[in-house]
Structure 1
């Protein structure tokens, strides 16, 4: 159960997004460059580039997951009040 507490910790996920999710910061966030590369057709992307995209994108996926779960719980609580 302790592992689930880590994945559901808003503060930890936010810090991961700001640090790992955006590093290196200059000249542009790494994940942004990878997403632009993929949007441009992902020409010449190697397996390491895809892994790197997943590695830097994981904190953002966790944040989206937490936002989805929070929204779902809000909808369910509103339905219970009706």
Structure 2
């Protein structure tokens, strides 16, 4: 997993996370909409589940990369 995360740099993950996390600009972001649907139990359509996965993946990767980075920094 760590080798996969080493492919992406922090700036790239931050930019992608901000872009996909806030898309579409001007309306309610899809990520917030899908999280609200998940909390309400309305996330049943496959396209909505895929949309949640697509918009949240860069954020999850950024969090994991940060955890591994901090763990390696503390061990050094």
TM interval, short-chain normalised: 0.7 to 0.9
Between structures 1 and 2, the one with greater helix share: 2
| Aligned equivalent of 1:80 | none
Query: Pairwise CA RMSD of aligned residues?
Result: 1.8
Any stretches of 5+ residues in structure 1 without a counterpart?
A: 78-82
| Aligned equivalent of 2:18 | 18
Residues 5-44 of structure 1 aligned to structure 2 (within 5 Å): 5-7=6-8, 9-41=9-41, 43=42
* Distance verdict in 2 for CA 1:21–1:48, change over 3 Å: same
* Distance verdict in 2 for CA 1:72–1:30, change over 3 Å: same
SS of equivalent residue, structure 2 residue 7: helix
Structure with bigger RCO (C-alpha 8 Å, 6+ apart): 2
Q: How many residues align?
A: 73
* Distance verdict in 2 for CA 1:70–1:44, change over 3 Å: closer
- Larger Rg: 1 or 2? 1
Structure 2 distance, partners of 1:38, 1:44, is 5
